[in-house]
Amino acid sequence: MQNLAWGGVFKVIDTGYPAFRFVKDVVVNNNEVLDEQARMAQLAGMKDSWHVLAVKPKYHLYVVVIGESARRDALGAFGGHWDNTPFASSVNGYLFNNYIAASGSTQKSLGLTLNRVVDGKPQYQDNFVTLANRAGFQTWWFSNQGQIGEYDTAIASIAKRADEVQFLKNGDFEANKNTQDEQLLKLTEQVLSTQRTQPQLIVLHLMGSHPQACDRTKGKYTVFVQSKETSCYLYSMTQTDSLLAKLYHQLQNSGDTFSLTYFSDHGLAFKERGKEVQYLAHDDKFQQNFQVPFMVLSSDDKAHKVIKAQRSANDFLSFFSQWTGIQAAEITPRYRFISEQKAGPVYITNFQLQKVDYAHLGTDEFTVN
């Protein structure tokens, strides 16, 4: 059960559909699961152990947008075959076309991305939100993912560390299916309408392109590719691009200096390939499960730039430290993240919690039909 190992709540939806597919994904021993859940609950209640050495933010507003299930080759801005991301394709900022997610499902991937990791285990009390809090930032977390039961999950344990937390859904992941990511912009508008002296960290957690994509788009798509679900998946990228454009304009209109980063937690793999029912679901066997968009857009950027150097979500806290100017004793960046500096080989963590060399994974190309 993919999510359980990082304290997640198992939901059939995580395996894509049809629902019975979950049987083959039951890979984690139940005792390990219970141990990890207990460990996470304990850490979630613990005080963080960050030692902040310096706080020199370049911008007043920092925004982290966590996307969902977006594979990089489905976005035109990142080399996809379709011109479906007009904002990201033209905006001034840095687009990373070789950024690799930490794992193949939300809880695992974000557990390893957003927390300090010691001996392969996320330290849930030492995450990017507690780091920002410790540095004197005001922190906000706005989510379009579920909340009942969600507070038992790895990500919710991070979310609830923010000064202000709001979930659009009043039930679990599948509740209120009609809540659209764009509704999060009402919340950011409220934050930005007031002048605040502290530096700000605003986090948005999207439903993005999570299966089933036609639920995300209400069945809408603009280009038909192989199946309705694949077509909706491509259009879900346009919806996220539109949200980013509106958010960017909100930040511009605030009059404050700002920097926004967007990335997806993981990609997906094709199932029933080449058939009328072709769809995408969680997997951990292919490079495309880990190839995700990552971009950084700042108020003083003057050009649209592409970073080709390989980057790993395992180094997200190093990026966060460099980006926000928050130095901590526990974070030692090995290289400049926003640069073409080589960072060494990248590994991912599979559903069995094994580290695997990314270069050794197979491929799952997005074919154009």
The pLDDT tens digits of the residues spanning 250-300 come to 999 999 999 999 999 999 999 999 999 999 999 999 999 999 999 999 999
Phi (first) and psi of residue 100, to 5 degrees: -115, 125
Domains in the chain and their CATH numbers? 49-360 (3.40.720.10)
With cut-offs at 50, 70 and 90, classify the pLDDT of residue 156: confident
Element (H, E) at 87: helix 86-90
| Reported confidence tier of residue 33, pLDDT bands at 50, 70, 90 | low
In the chain, the largest separation of any two C-alpha atoms, in whole Å, equals 56
- Greater confidence (11 vs 87) lies with 87
Q: What is the pLDDT of residues 71-101, one digit of tens each?
A: 999 999 999 999 999 999 999 999 999 999 9
The Cα 288–Cα 270 span in angstroms is 10
Q: Roughly what angle, to the nearest 10 degrees, separates helices 184-192 and 228-254? A: 10
Query: How many angstroms separate the CA atoms of 161 and 334, rounded?
Result: 27
Residues 6+ apart with CB under 8 A from 293: 67, 70, 72, 75, 77, 78, 88, 95, 96, 99, 262, 263, 264
Confidence of residue 345 (pLDDT cuts 50, 70, 90): very high
Q: pLDDT tier at 34 (50, 70, 90 boundaries)?
A: low
pLDDT at 157: 81
Residues 167-183: tens digit of each pLDDT:
887 655 555 566 899 99
Neighbours of 216 (CB within 10 A): 25
Strands (E), 71-199: 93-96, 99-100, 115-118, 121-127, 138-143, 164-167
User: Phi then psi for 94, rounded to 5 degrees?
Assistant: -115, 125
Task: Judge whether residue 333 has pLDDT over 80.
Answer: yes
Give the integer Cα–Cα distance in Å for 182 and 218.
14
pLDDT digits (tens, 9 = 90+) for 184-236: 999 999 999 999 999 999 999 999 999 999 999 999 999 999 999 999 999 99
What's the pTM? 0.89
Structure tokens at 167: 């979930």
CA distance linking residue 196 with residue 183, whole number of Å: 23
pLDDT in tens, 299-313: 999 999 999 999 999
